[in-house]
Copies of this chain bind each other. A is one copy, B any other.
């Protein structure tokens, strides 16, 4: 069971429920709820950082804690939301002594504060044989343009990305900053039609936008901004930029005219690159430098059950 199958499975299970306060359920970067009696909607997302999956056993617990918080906050950014607060559940496993636990919790508190979502609740369990697992739930309020979903990409839109992609395993995956301010800036300055963060890889996440919007994505290979770290991988840099994942950059769609301005002005100091266009058909493809077309396939990380 892939994560996508699971999402569809839960969508089916939940689709029949009478939940008028649920504006967007499973399938976007965060759920959007509008609690009864409340004038405001909230984005809520939950993410894990698991030892051996999202970081190595040798990784300092401070970096593991930081990554756990940043992963959740990147989902908040992917909704163009403003961080409000965070909750952490920590399973502390084998070889983790009291001092390590204190360091981990301290780092969670500090990272959450730095990223604008103070830690206000949590749970902790210790099991000698267990794998350390940090779960962070983050809550966000609407940004200047409300929330931006994955589903609004329109035929003729330009597809843009912040920063540079690929090679995240060289270190970036532990040290990235969630693009919160950049997403707030972009959503204030432009009419963003669709937005996602690149966690699974450009190829996979572009297909997520495509599926949610019912449109195809045409990416121009030559225009994809490639990180220096991508050239230190085993395959060609483009492959890493498309498929490595964990870039935690923003991928978004807006009118071609607005995209030109965004590329010129950047996003709160970060470069913005136009990398493709939204197609009328639902077919997504990669335009190669030699003019050939390759079907865009999900080569990024798919969580296999």
State which residues 97-129 of A face B: CB under 8 Å.
Answer: 98, 101-102, 105-106, 109, 113, 118-127, 129
A25 is an interface residue with CB less than 8 A from chain B: yes
**What's the nearest-Cβ distance from chain B to residue A76, in Å?**
12
Q: Are A92 and B305 in contact (CB under 8 A)?
A: yes
Q: Which of B19, B37, B89 contacts A48 (CB 8 A)?
A: B89
Interface centre among A10, A30, A35 (most CB of B within 10 A): A35
- Chain B residues positioned under 8 Å from A85 (CB to CB): 19, 21-22, 31, 33
- CB pair B303–A14 under 8 Å, yes or no, is no
In the complex, are the beta carbons of A13 and B47 less than 8 A apart?
no
- Asked if B303 and A109 make an inter-chain contact with CB atoms under 8 angstroms apart, the answer reads no
Q: Are A26 and B121 in contact (CB under 8 A)?
A: yes
By a CB distance below 8 angstroms, the chain B residues around A122 are 10, 26, 46
- A253 interface hit (Cβ, 8 Å): no
CB distance from A196 to the nearest CB of B (A): 15
Is A39 close to B, CB under 8 A?
yes
A213 within 8 A of B: no
| Nearest-Cβ distance from residue A213 to partner chain B, whole angstroms | 20
**A297 lies within 8 A of chain B by Cβ:** no
B127 and A53: CB pair below 8 A?
yes
Contact A10-B129, Cβ < 8 Å, known A37-B39, A46-B89, A305-B124: no
Residues of B within 8 A of A105 (CB): 6, 9-10
Cα distance A130–B22 in the bound complex, in angstroms: 33
For A32, the closest partner residue in chain B by CB is: B120
Q: Does A88 count as interface, using CB distance less than 8 angstroms? A: yes
**9 shortest interchain CB distances as A-B pairs:** A130-B131, A38-B40, A31-B121, A101-B305, A135-B135, A37-B40, A137-B137, A46-B87, A89-B135
Q: List 23 A-B pairs, Cβ < 8 Å.
A: A1-B102, A10-B109, A13-B109, A21-B84, A22-B85, A22-B118, A26-B119, A33-B139, A35-B40, A37-B40, A44-B137, A44-B139, A48-B91, A48-B125, A54-B125, A87-B137, A89-B89, A91-B133, A102-B305, A124-B303, A126-B304, A127-B131, A133-B133
